[in-house]
Chains A and B, each alone.
Chain A
Amino acid sequence: MTGFWALDYLCLAAILASGFLVVRMRNLNAAVMALSGVGTVLSLTFLVLGAPDDAHSEVVVGAIALPTLYLIAIAKARTNVSAEDELGESSDRRHPG
C-alpha cells in the first residue's frame, strides 16, 4: 500500500505545483502549458485511483482539447489580423471555389 500512496502523493504534488504555476505565470502561453500539465497529471492520478475511463477522457482533454482551444484563443485575442487570410492561409472555407 505504501507504494500506492507514494504514487498518489507524487501526483498530488505535481498537480498542486502546476496549479500554482497557472496562477503565478505571467506569460499566458506558459500558463496554458501549466494548465495542460494539471490535466495530464490528473489523468495519471485517475489511473492510480482506479478510474481508467476518466483517465482516457481527461488525458485527451487535458493534453489535446484544452491547450488547443486556449492557444488559439490567445492568438486570436492578440493579433490584429486582416479580414482575409484568417487561417493564415489562402483558402476560404465558407465560400469554397
Chain B
Amino acid sequence: MTVHTPRDEQDASIIIRDAADKGTLLNVAGNGTKAPMGRPNQTDASISSAAMSGITLYEPAELVISAKSGTPVLEVMRVLAVKGQELPFEPMDYRSILGTRGDPTIGAIAAMNISGPRRIMAGAARDSLIGARFVNGRGEVVKSGGRVMKNVTGLDLVKLMAGSWGTLGFLTEVTFKVLPKPERMATLVIRGLDDNQAIEALSMALGSPFDVTGAAHLPDRDRRGGSTLIRLEGFRVSVDYRMNELKRLLKRFRFMDILEGVGAEALWQSVRDATILTDQSQRAIWRVSTAPTKGPDVAAHVAQALDAQWFYDWGGGLVWISTPVDGDAGASVLREATRTHGGHATLVRAPAEVRSALDVFEPQSDALMTLTRGIKASFDPAGILNPGRMYAGV
C-alpha cells in the first residue's frame, strides 16, 4: 500500500486533491501508534504526518505553543518542560495497552481529543486546542481558530477537528494553550473502600474548594478494598494547606497515606494510561464516560453479566473496564449499561475481527447521526478520509 508522507500542507493538499479526484480511500495517520483503535477500515493508501515535524511557535509568556502535526508529543513536552510548562490536559499514552511502538504525534492528540486524569480541572485536549490548520477532503487548506486563547470569531471548526479521528481533515498544524507545571504534587491515598464508598469520598473531595486535579479509585482484585487516590497540585504552601484541609474533610475514611515523588508519578501514569488493566493482555478494554454519580452503577451492571475488571479515573469522568474478548467482547452489556445509566462506551482494545463486527463507538441517536453524516460530507464529500473509522459510512 502506498504511504504518502507529505513534507508540508501544500504537498498534503496535492495528494488529497488527487485522491479525491480518483476516489482513492486514504488512511489518515501519524506514526501509527493508535492504528489498532477504532473501526478497522479498508483503504487504498495512507497519508501520514510523519515527515511534518517541528515546533513552529512557542511563547511561554503567552502560554501558547504551535507544532506541525507530526511532531512527537514527547518533543512538545520536552520543549515545554524547559520553561516549566506542560500540556495541562495530561494526554494519555496508548502504547502500553495497545502494545504498539513509535512516537505518538501531537496531531493525534488533537485528532482523537486525548486527555488524562487532570480532565476535571484542565479539560480535555479540545479545551486547550485553540487553533488548527488542516487539509479537508477536497484538498483545500483550511484554518480555524488561531494562537490566542480567547477567540469566538466564526464557527468553531477547531472543536470539530478535535475527536474526529482524521475523518474530516488531515491536520497539518495544531496550536495549544499551555500552563505552568505545578511546583508540587501530593496524593492522598485512602485504603479499603468499596466502589460506592470510594465514589462518595471522591465526590466530597471534588466538591470541596481545594482544587483537586486527579481522582481515581483502583478496586482491589480480591475484594479486600482498593486504593482511592486524590491528587493536589500547586505551590508548596498551598498544597500543604489544602492537603491538611482535605484530610480533615475526609477523616471518617480511615487508613489514609500521603504519597509523593516518583512512586506517586508512576501511579498517576498508570491511571492515565490505563496500564492498571494491562496484565490482562488477552482481554478487551472499554472506556466508559458517564456522569460522576453513575460510575459504580455502570460497573455493577457490567459485573453482573460479565467477568469484568475495572477502575475509575474519576477526574477524567471515566470507568475503564476489561472484559473477555469472546463473542461481542461484552458490547451488548456495556451498551445496555450506558443506555440505563447515561454516558457512552468506546471499545479501545479488541482484535480486529471483533472491532469489525460491532460498533466501536457508542451508536448515536438518528438525529445526531444525520448531523454527523452531513458534517462529514461538508468536509469530505468524496468520503476518502479515514472512511468508516468511527461509524459505518462516515
A and B associate? no
